[in-house]
Amino acid sequence: MSLPISNRKALYEWTLYLLVLPSLALVLLFSYFPSISAIYHSFFDWQGGNMKQFVGFANFRKAFGDSILWSSFVTISILVVANVFKMVPSIFIAVLIHRLKSDKWQYWYRVILVVPMIVPGLVTLFIWKFFFDPNIGLLNSIINTLGIKTVLVNFDQFFGWGVFYADAPISWLGNPHLIVPALILWGFPWIGAVGVLIYLAGLQSIGQEIYEAAELDGINSWQTFLYIELPLIMTQVRLSLVLMIIGSLQGFGLQLLLLGPEGGAGGAGMVPGLWMFNRAFQAGEFGYACAIGMILFIFILALTWINDKYVRVEK
Amino acid sequence: MSSAQEISYANAQKKRDFPKHLIIWFVLAIELLPFYMMVQMSVKTNQSFIANPWFPNLPNQWHLENWVHGFNLIFPYIANTVFVAVTGTFGMLALAILASYFFARYKMPCSTLFWSLLMVIMLLPGVANLVPLFQLLKSMNLLNSLWALIILAIAGGQVFCIFILRNFIEEIPRDLFEAAEMDGATHLQQIMHVVIPMSGPIIGTLSILTFLGIWNDFMMPLILLRDQDLFTLGVGLVYLDGEYVKDYGQIMAAFLVASIPIIIIFLFCMKLFVRGLSSGAIKG
Amino acid sequence: MKWEKISQIFGLSLVAICFILALTRVIFREVESRDPNQITIRFAHWQLEGTVPRALDALAAEYMKLHPGIKIEQIRIPNKVFAMWSTTQLVGETAPDLIQMQALAADKLVRYMVPLTNYVYEPNPYNKGNEFENIPWRDTFFDGLVNAPSYNENLLELYGIPQTMHVSRVFYNKDLFKKIMGDTRIPQTYEEFQALCEAVKAYSKKTDTIVIPLAASRDSTGIGWTLFSSQTQKLTSKTDSINALRGKGLEENKIAFLKNELDIASPEYQSGLRIFREVSQYMQSGYTTLNREDAAFYFLQGRAVMTMAGSWDASTYFSQSPFNVGVFTLPLPSPNHPDYGRYVLGPITEAGLQSSFSFGLSRTSAHPEIALDFLKFITSKHGNETFSKIAKWLPAVRNVPLIDIIEGFKPVSDGFPSGPALSTWGPDVDRLINNNLYLLSDPNGSVEKFTAAIKPYYNEALISEARRNLRERLKNSARMDSQIGAASQLSLTDPSDQRKVSMLFEAQNFNEAGYYYVRYELKKLGISPDN
C-alpha cells in the first residue's frame, strides 16, 4: 500500500502532482470527453446525426420496461458465472507447470504459451465454427461415435426437452436451449496465456524445497494447492476476476459474429452489449443505446465494488 | 541420504512429472492449433485450402508467392507502423510509470479521487464515442497526422497500465526509496534508478502488449488518416480480411509476414517478456 | 556478459535502428509537400472484391488521361467499418468528394449530401455520339433512378448515381450435378427443382457422403423468402386496393396487418411458410446460424450441389471453384402446381429491379463540378461498359452489352410482381422473425410452431415500427419547415428559387400526408400513435 502522508509533507511534495498530470489530462480529454457525450445523449431521442430532442429520463423509463434488456442481463449473468469457472483451468495449468522439477521445461512452456498471441482471431473463429458445425463438425461426430447422442435423445424423450432428436443433427448454435451451453463450451480448454503467466508469477516465491518439505510432512497435492499455492495467487485471481467481469459484461463480439445482431434463435444469445449495438446500429436509437450503456455501467460498477469488498483474501 | 540415493530420488521425481508433461502438452497442442493452421494455410491457394483445410500440403505444392504478396502488401506501411508503434509504446509507458509512481509512493490528498477517475473510465462501455472523439481531434487540428494515432494510443493505454504498474511499484521495498531519498535523489531520479530497474520485466511485458495492439489496429488509421501513404499495417490486413470470399492463404501469409518483426523482437527479448509476465507480475 | 544480456541489448538496438529508419522516412515524406494547385477528387466505397476496385481504377486512369491536372483517388473501406467511417467523415466535414450511398437517415442526407435532382434532366456529355446523346442522363439508367438508395422518396430528391444492379441466382456445381443426375439439364419447374433436391438427398444417403442439395446461410435465406413471396402474390392486389398513397409504401402493408386485412394465419401466408419450410429441409441443418462465407465454403468444398448467391459473387464463384459452375433462375411453382399453384400469379418479374452501388456527392467537396463530371464519365454508356466488363458486374446503364460470364444474370423482364413479405419491415419485426426462424427451418420445427410463436407479438412489433416511422416523419417535417421558410424568403427576390420552393412543398405535403395517414389509421384501431 502507498504510504499515508501528512498534509504538510504533501504540500512540500507538490511536484508529485506534476507526475500524474499528463496521464490525467490525456484520459480526461480523450476518454472522458467522448464518454460524457454518451452520458449526455442518453437523455435525448437521438439517431446519431445532428438532430436530437431532449426527452429527460424517457430512455431510462423505457429501459426499465424492456424485457429484452432484462433477459439479456440474465444471460450475461450466467455467462459471467461460467467464466468464473473457466478461470480454473488456467490456474490448474499454472500450478502444474510450476510443480515441474525441470527449470528448462518451465521456461519453454511459458515461451510456447505466448506464441498463439500473434494469431489473428479469424483463425480461431474458423476452427471453432467447424467444431460446432451441425453437419460436418467435430463435436457432433464425437457425440455420434461415442453414442452419447442416443443417450441425449432418450433423456430428451423422457423429460420432453424438445432439443435432441434422433433424425436430426444437433444444431448447437441454432437452438435456443443450446446457445448458452455452446457459448460456455467455446474456447475449451479455456486457457488464457496471459492468465497462466500471471498466476505463475504469483507462484514464483514457492521454491522446490517447500514442496519437498510438504511431501515429507505427508501433505497431499490437493492440500498443497489449498494451503500453499492458492493463497499466494489469490491477489492475481482477484485481479483477473475484475478484468474478466468488466470484459465479459461489455463484450458482445463473439455473439455478434456467431449469432448476428438479433442474438440468434429465440434471442438466447442476447447480451446487454449486443442489445446496445442492436439498438444503435440496427434500430438507429442511439440515445436509447446510450441509456443502456449507462445501466450497464452501473451494473459493472456494482459488481466491481462487490468483488473489491468481499473477494479479498488476507495473505 | 547418500548422493546415489539422492540422484535416484531426483530421477524418480522427474519420472513422476511425466503425467504432468502429458497434460501440459495436450493443452498446449490445443492452444497451438490456431498457430499451426495459420502457418499451413499461409502456403495454400484458396482452392487447395478448400479441398484440404486441415492438413499441410507437401512442400512441392507450397505457394510461397503468398508470402511475397504478403510482403508487398505490408511493406509500404512498415515505416509508419514502426514509427507509430515505437513512439506510442514509449510515450504510453513513460507517462504511465510517472502516474503509477504518484499513486504508489504516497497517499497524497486527492489521490483517491484521481484513482477513481481513472478506474471509472475502464468500466464505462463505449457506445457512440467515435464521433465526438473525431470532432475533438479535428478541432485540435490533428486529423490526417500520425501524431493523432500516437496520442490516442498513449491516452488509451494509460488506465490499464497504471492499474497494473501501481500494484507493482507498491511491491518494491520501501527501504530502496528511502535510501535513495537520503542520497538526495529527486522523484524523477528515484523513478530512473529504483522503479525502472526493479520493474523492468513488467514494463517489458506491458510494452509488448501495447506494441501488439498498435501494430494490428486498423480502425483509427482508417478513420483518422486521409492520405493513404500514412496508413499503418493493420489497414492493409483488414483489406484482405474484409473481402467477401476471403483468400485465406494470402491473409495468413500477410499476418505471418506482419508478425515477423514482432517475433524477432520477441525472440531477443524473450527472457525479459516471459520473466516480466511471470516474476510477480500483477499484485493487487 | 551473458548471452541473455547480449541478445536483449541486440534486440533493443534492433528496435532502435528500425525506429530511426522509420523516423527518417516519415519525416522525409512529410517534407515533400503537395502541390496546392493539384485538383484531387476522392471517391470511397466498400466493394473490396478485386475486380471492382480494378474497374474503377481503370476508369479513373482514363479520366485522368482525358483531363490532365486532375487526380482521381480511390478509397477502399471495408464493409464492417464503412458505416462508422462515413459517419465520422461526414460529421467531421472531411468526407471525400464522392461516397458510396448507404441507407442514410434523411437528416444526414440533407445536411451532408448534395441533391443531384437538378442535374439529371440534362443529357450526359460523355454520351455524345451514341444513342443517348439527346436523352436525359436519368433516362439512360435502366430503372430511371427512382429507387433507394439513389433516390429518397421522403425528400423527393435524388442523391446518388448507380453503377450496377444485382440479381440473385442459383449457382450449381456442374460436375456433381452430372454425377448425380446423369445430365446437366437445369430444372425448369419447381417440381423438377424439388426432384433434383430429392435426388441429391438420396445420393447422399446411398453413398454415405455429406452432400447437401442447397448451401444456405442466415444472410441469404433468399431461396426460402423468394418462394414465400410467390405464395403471397395474389395478396398484392388486396393491398393495392387500400393503397391510399403510393404503390410501394410499406406503411400500407403494416396497417393492413393491423387491420387484419393481411394475416399470418391466412391460407396464403401459411402456404408461403410451408414452402419456405419445405425448401429449408434441403439446406444444411442449422443453416440459420451460418453466414454467407460459410455457405460459400460448403459449396466450394463440393459439399453442396447448389447455393443461392448474388450476381456480384459470380466472378469469385467462377474463378475459385475447383469444378465447373453454372447458374439458373430459381423456378417458382406454376399456377397449375397441385399444392402451391392456387396462390401463384406466375413467374416473378425482375423488371422492377433496383439499381445499386451508387455514389453521392458530399457537400464538403471542394470541386463539386469536377466530381460530378467524373460521375458522369463513369456512368456514360462507355464508362459503365468498361466497369461492367472489368468488374464482371451487371451494368446499370441501358443497352450496355453483357459479357459472357454475367449472361446468366440477365434480369427476367417478363412476369408478375412478388407478394408482400413477412420481414424486412424494420429492426423489431426482423428480430422477431429471425429469432424464431429456427422453428420454421429446423427438421423438428413446423409452420404451426412458427406461427404460434410469431403471431402474438407480430402486431406489437409492427406498431413499434409504425411509431418509429412517425417519429422520423415528424422530425423530417420539422426540419423541412425551416427549409421552406428560408427558400420562400429567397424566392421573393430570386424567381429561380420558385421551383425549389414548390418541390419542397410537395415533399413536405407527401411527408405529412404519410404521417397523418399512419396516425389516423392507428388511432382508428385504438392504438396510441406515440409511445
| Residues whose CB is less than 8 angstroms from the CB of residue C457 and which lie 6 or more positions away in sequence, other chains included | C432
pLDDT band at B243 (very low <50, low <70, confident <90, very high): low
Binary contact (A167, C443; C-beta < 8 A):
yes
Chain C residue with Cα closest to A164 = C444
pLDDT band at B152 (very low <50, low <70, confident <90, very high): very high
> ipTM for the complex?
0.84
Interface test with C, best of A123, A135, A163 (most C CBs within 10 A): A135
> Average pLDDT, whole number, for chain B?
82
Binary contact (A175, C443; C-beta < 8 A):
no
pLDDT of C150 above 90: no
pLDDT digits (tens, 9 = 90+) for C313-326: 888 888 888 889 99
Tell me how close the Cα of C471 comes to any Cα of chain A, in angstroms: 10
pLDDT digits (tens, 9 = 90+) for C194-251: 999 999 999 999 998 889 999 998 875 578 888 888 888 888 766 554 444 344 456 7
Give the model's pLDDT for residue B281: 35
pLDDT band at A152 (very low <50, low <70, confident <90, very high): confident
Q: Give the residue among C142, C183, C189, C178 at the shortest CA–CA distance from C328.
A: C189
Give the model's pLDDT for residue B7: 58
Cα–chain-centroid distance for residue C248? 17
Of B118-122, B239-243, C361-365, the one with minimum mean pLDDT is B239-243
Residue C478 grid cell? 420539422
Binary contact (C293, B244; C-beta < 8 A):
yes
Q: Which ranges of chain B would DSSP assign to H, the alpha helix?
A: 3-16, 18-41, 46-51, 65-105, 111-123, 130-139, 146-170, 174-182, 187-190, 196-198, 200-216, 219-224, 233-241, 248-268, 270-278
The verdict on A31 touching B (C-beta cutoff 8 Å) is yes
pLDDT digits (tens, 9 = 90+) for A107-130: 788 878 878 877 878 788 888 888
Q: Which amino acid is at C258?
A: L
Chain A residue with Cα closest to C108 = A49
The verdict on A59 touching C (C-beta cutoff 8 Å) is no
**DSSP string for residues in C192-208:** HHHHHHHHHHHHHHHHT
Looking at mean pLDDT, say which of A103-117, C36-50, C488-502 comes out highest.
C36-50
Q: How many residues does chain C have?
A: 531
CB B135 within 8 A of CB C92: yes
What's the fold here for domain A62-132+172-310?
Answer: MetI-like fold (1.10.3720)
Binary contact (C435, A258; C-beta < 8 A):
no
Binary contact (C91, B83; C-beta < 8 A):
no
User: Three-state SS across chain A?
Assistant: CCEECCHHHHHHCCCHHHHHHHHHHHHHHHHHHHHHHHHHHCCEEECCCCCEEECCCHHHHHHHCCHHHHHHHHHHHHHHHHHHHCCHHHHHHHHHHHHCCCHHHHHHHHHHHHHHHHCCHHHHHHHHHHHHCCCCCHHHHHHHHCCHHHHHHHHHHHHCCCCCCCCCCCCCCCCHHHHHHHHHHCCCCCCCHHHHHHHHHHHCCCCHHHHHHHHHCCCCHHHHHHHHHHHHHHHHHHHHHHHHHHHHHHCCHHHHHHHCCCCCHHHCCCCHHHHHHHHHHHCCCHHHHHHHHHHHHHHHHHHHHHHHHHCCCCC
φ, ψ (nearest 5 deg) of residue B103: -75, -30
Give the model's pLDDT for residue C57: 94
User: Three-state SS across C363-384?
Assistant: CCCCCHHHHHHHHHHHCCHHHH
Give the model's pLDDT for residue B14: 64
The verdict on C322 touching B (C-beta cutoff 8 Å) is yes
The verdict on A49 touching B (C-beta cutoff 8 Å) is no
Interface test with C, best of B219, B222, B232 (most C CBs within 10 A): B222
**CATH numeric code, C35-166+354-393:** 3.40.190.10
Burial A115-153 (b: 16+ CB within 10 A, else e): bbebbbebbbebbbbbbbbbbebebbeebeeeeebeebb
Residues 157 to 216 of A: which have CB under 8 A from any B CB? 188-189, 191, 193-194, 197-198, 200-202, 204-205
pLDDT digits (tens, 9 = 90+) for A190-219: 988 778 877 877 777 677 778 888 878 888
pLDDT of B283 above 80: no
Region C42-47 average pLDDT: 91
CA B112, CA B130: separation in Å to the nearest integer? 29
Give the model's pLDDT for residue C450: 94
Is C74 strand, coil or helix?
strand
CA distances from C447 to C278, C436, C500 (A): 10, 11, 52
pLDDT digits (tens, 9 = 90+) for A279-305: 988 888 888 999 999 999 999 998 888
Looking at mean pLDDT, say which of A148-152, B269-273, C69-73 comes out highest.
C69-73
Tell me how close the Cα of C474 comes to any Cα of chain B, in angstroms: 24
Give the model's pLDDT for residue C237: 67
Of A205-209, C47-51, C252-256, the one with minimum mean pLDDT is A205-209
Percentage of chain C beyond pLDDT 70 is 94
CA distances from B118 to A108, B100, B111, C402 (A): 37, 11, 11, 61
Tell me how close the Cα of A129 comes to any Cα of chain B, in angstroms: 13
Give the model's pLDDT for residue C286: 83
CA B56, CA B40: separation in Å to the nearest integer? 5
Region A70-84 average pLDDT: 94
CA C257, CA C202: separation in Å to the nearest integer? 41
CB C190 within 8 A of CB C196: no
Q: Give the residue among B48, B41, B38, B43 at the shortest CA–CA distance from B69.
A: B43
pLDDT band at B8 (very low <50, low <70, confident <90, very high): low
Give the model's pLDDT for residue C41: 92
Binary contact (C434, A262; C-beta < 8 A):
yes
| Residues whose CB is less than 8 angstroms from the CB of residue B253 and which lie 6 or more positions away in sequence, other chains included | B42, B43, B66, B67, B69, B70
Of A139-143, A236-240, A242-246, C260-264, the one with minimum mean pLDDT is A236-240
pLDDT band at C30 (very low <50, low <70, confident <90, very high): low
Q: Give the residue among C467, C229, C452 at the shortest CA–CA distance from C350.
A: C229
CA A185, CA A86: separation in Å to the nearest integer? 9
> Average pLDDT, whole number, for chain C?
85
Binary contact (B242, C80; C-beta < 8 A):
yes
| Residues whose CB is less than 8 angstroms from the CB of residue A227 and which lie 6 or more positions away in sequence, other chains included | A219
Chain B residue with Cα closest to A199 = B278
As assigned by CATH, the class of the B72-246+253-283 domain is mainly alpha
Query: Among partner residues A171, A262, A281, which is closest to C442 by beta-carbon distance?
Result: A171
Percentage of chain B beyond pLDDT 70 is 86
* Residue showing cell 497435492: A221
Tell me how close the Cα of A282 comes to any Cα of chain C, in angstroms: 6
Region C295-300 average pLDDT: 88
Chain B residue with Cα closest to C83 = B223
The verdict on C131 touching B (C-beta cutoff 8 Å) is no
pLDDT of C468 above 90: no
Tell me how close the Cα of C178 comes to any Cα of chain B, in angstroms: 20
pLDDT band at B95 (very low <50, low <70, confident <90, very high): very high
pLDDT digits (tens, 9 = 90+) for A12-47: 778 888 999 999 999 999 988 888 888 888 999 887
Give the model's pLDDT for residue C304: 93
Chain B residue with Cα closest to C302 = B51
Burial A15-38 (b: 16+ CB within 10 A, else e): ebbebbebbbebbeebbbebbebb
The verdict on C48 touching B (C-beta cutoff 8 Å) is yes
What's the fold here for domain C168-349+413-424?
Answer: D-Maltodextrin-Binding Protein; domain 2 (3.40.190)
The verdict on C284 touching A (C-beta cutoff 8 Å) is yes
Give the model's pLDDT for residue C377: 95
Domain locations in chain A as residue ranges: 62-132+172-310
Interface test with B, best of A9, A13, A20, A138 (most B CBs within 10 A): A20
Domain locations in chain B as residue ranges: 3-41, 72-246+253-283
pLDDT band at A73 (very low <50, low <70, confident <90, very high): very high
Residue A147 grid cell? 453414442
For the beta carbon of residue C24, count every other beta carbon within 10 angstroms.
12
The verdict on A135 touching C (C-beta cutoff 8 Å) is yes
pLDDT digits (tens, 9 = 90+) for A260-274: 888 888 899 999 999
CA A297, CA A51: separation in Å to the nearest integer? 26
pLDDT of B1 above 80: no
pLDDT band at B5 (very low <50, low <70, confident <90, very high): low
Give the model's pLDDT for residue A15: 83
pLDDT of B210 above 50: yes
| Residues whose CB is less than 8 angstroms from the CB of residue C34 and which lie 6 or more positions away in sequence, other chains included | none
CA C425, CA C442: separation in Å to the nearest integer? 24
Is B140 strand, coil or helix?
coil
CB B159 within 8 A of CB B122: yes
Region B48-73 average pLDDT: 85
Binary contact (B99, A107; C-beta < 8 A):
no
Tell me how close the Cα of B200 comes to any Cα of chain A, in angstroms: 14
* Residue showing cell 508470402: B67
